[in-house]
Amino acid sequence: MKRLACALAFALAAAPVSGLLGQDDVPRTRLDDPEASFPEPFSSIEGLREFDDGRVMVSDRIEQAVRLIDFADGDMRQIGQVGQGPGEYRMPDELLPLPGDATLLVDFGNMRLTVVSPDGKLTDSEPMVRPEGWFLFPRGTDARGRLYIEGSSFQLGPGREPPDSFAISRYDRDGGSVDTVAMLPRAQTGQITMGGGGRGLSFSGSGASAYQARDAWAVAPDGRVAVARHDPYRIEWLTADRERIVGPEIVYEPVEVTEADKEAWADEMSTGTVVAIGTRGGGGRAMNLPRPDTDEIDFPERKPAFPANAVSVTPDGLAWVKRHVAHGRPETYDVFDAAGRRIKQVVLPERRRLVGFGDGTLYAVYIDDDDLQWLERYRR
């Protein structure tokens, strides 16, 4: 779980951009054939990072591997190995860019952050469970190597009420300082209850954990933070100078939550994993959730504009927001500029999932009938 001690939020001066934009006011791009496809499949791509020379680093949680691949010749080599010692990892997740072409590996298995050098060597590490009592789980980095963290809006265990809001905070790895970028309202998510020793997992609460209206965010390389607001739907940019740039409201037609959506949500809950963190700062481990009974879940009638964690920012500073669509339809994204204006929509090919961006590129995985993931590169 993501836990963070929150500093005081600062007041932001608003600079709104007036006007309303409808669903059909921008061009729509449908991606077709990929520019390149990697010839070897993956099991579960969790992190991806593109380098200037075109090589790509990929983390695979199921295979417990971090690999460096080259689309040009199909070459693939593993970086590090599974374990708890130096140069090892146990549950690789996000791969975040650092200055000097280095990469920050989020390793949930060992509950630490490890720096990977440009030549693929695992070097310095630091713990994710901090002595001060908070949990360092970065959601992004900027060009200076500062980490951006979200306070938890998800609670573990009965009888514990989280606060009404959570912080987006910035952590300076060099000095160890933490400052608050913004405060966002907490979503009313569900709750996981665990019995002794982590047994007896159960799920309770609202099915809105999949169809919840909540704000989402991501950070740009220059330190600006893009926040997707759900009410009304729009993008706000929070600049490094603490200016708030408010984009125009986006008018959209909400998508109905169908029985197929409910079953798909339950399937996703049961096939996905959560990371259980040791109470004494030990390593994390993946845990499967039981499949919820959809008849006992209070689902909303309609989906909000976008799901949780819907925002990504490209290396050139455009905000991409994943939209909720009808069940079975391909992933669709709204693309916003630095003023918060929606400039286009992008529709991925069917059965593709966006996993990352590069310099003018987009990476997606095609999931085949055996649930294998095939990595593809597109021009965006």
pLDDT single digits (tens) 84-137:
999 999 999 999 999 999 999 999 999 999 999 998 999 999 999 887 777 888
Q: What is the CA radius of gyration of the chain?
A: 20
- Over 60: is that where the pLDDT of 207 sits? no
- Mean pLDDT score, 370-376: 96
Give residue 267's pLDDT: 87
- Over 50: is that where the pLDDT of 33 sits? yes
- Mean pLDDT score, 289-312: 90
- Over 70: is that where the pLDDT of 197 sits? no
The dihedral over CA atoms of 242, 248, 249, 250, expressed in degrees to the nearest 10, equals -120
Strands 273-276 and 191-193: unpaired
Give residue 124's pLDDT: 92
The pLDDT-based confidence of 276 (bands split at 50, 70, 90) is low
- DSSP element (H, E) containing 46: strand 45-50
The pLDDT-based confidence of 6 (bands split at 50, 70, 90) is very low
Percent over 70 (pLDDT), the chain: 79
Q: Contact at 8 Å (CB) between 46 and 59?
A: yes
Domains of the chain by start residue, with CATH: 13-379 (2.120.10.30)
| DSSP of 269-315 | HHHSEEEEPPTTS---EEEEPPPP-GGGSB--SB--SS-TT-EEE-T
Q: Which residue has the tokens 């910035």?
A: 170
| Angle in degrees, CA 227, 252, 315, rounded to 5 | 35
pLDDT single digits (tens) 34-78:
999 999 999 999 999 999 999 999 999 999 999 999 999 999 999
Q: Contact at 8 Å (CB) between 248 and 234?
A: yes
Residues 334 and 189: their CA atoms lie apart, in Å, by: 25
Please state, in angstroms and as integers, the Cα–Cα distance from residue 200 to each residue in 102, 272, 290, following that order. 41, 17, 9
